[in-house]
Amino acid sequence: MRKLLLASTVCALTAGAVGVGGAMAASGSCASGTVAKQGPYVFALSIGPTEAMYTPAEVKSKHPKSGEVMLAGKMVGGMAGMDMTTGPQRHLEVHICKTGGQVVTGAHPTITVDGAMVPVAVMEGVGEGVADYHYGNNVSLKTGQKVIVVVKLNGQTATFHATVPKSASM
């Protein structure tokens, strides 16, 4: 999402895919954030400030200008298996594209942070449509914390070594 991809928010991230170096997709949502190419996929990780979440019905009735539209799953206050008091909430999102740049929709990736499963929700930015289709959730992470984020999809694994950036004001 454009508000999460500010250079000051994601510049602290570094990534490497298991067995494969990072690569940029030609265009679209997988060309921003920290990117890893693995098999037929390009994975792009972003960690930013917590996002306001809306159902499609709420978007129609409330007309928000920013936030996330929940398409599947549900947003939680933290990650399963992680102490909610470990730090402020951040929005972790993973965009997945095919190597040609086509956004992957309807997938069922697994995401872990330091071995703890993240309940995967499917969402897109308010008003952004399928170009911002992504997977993730709000998670408890401390500024400066070094984490390992692992994303698995259809036998492919992308591993990101990241440092949690400061939360930007929204």
CA-to-CA separations, 118 to 60, 75, 82, in angstroms, rounded? 28, 10, 10
Here the tokens at position 89 are 């909430």
Other Cβ atoms closer than 10 A to 35: 22
Q: Answer yes or no: is pLDDT of 64 > 60.
A: yes
Cα–Cα nearest to 133, from 142, 143, 122: 122
Q: Answer yes or no: is pLDDT of 9 > 50.
A: no
In the 3-class helix/strand/coil scheme, how is 10-61 assigned residue by residue? HCCCEECECCECCCCCCCCHHHCCEEEEECCEEEEEEEEECCCEECHHHHHH
Q: What is the DSSP string of 73-100?
A: S---SS-TTS-GGGS-EEEEEEEEEETT
Stretch 36-65: mean pLDDT: 92
Q: What is the pLDDT of residues 49-61, one digit of tens each?
A: 888 888 899 999 9
**pLDDT at position 167:** 64
Domain locations in the chain as residue ranges: 7-163
Q: Answer yes or no: is pLDDT of 82 > 80.
A: no
Give the bridge partners for 95, in sequence order: 44
Here the tokens at position 2 are 């454009």
Please give the torsion angle defined by the CA atoms of residues 49, 50, 52 and 53, in that order, rounded to the nearest 10 degrees: 130
Q: Residue 33: which pLDDT band, with cuts at 50, 70 and 90?
A: confident
Pairwise CA distance, residues 157 & 111, whole Å: 10
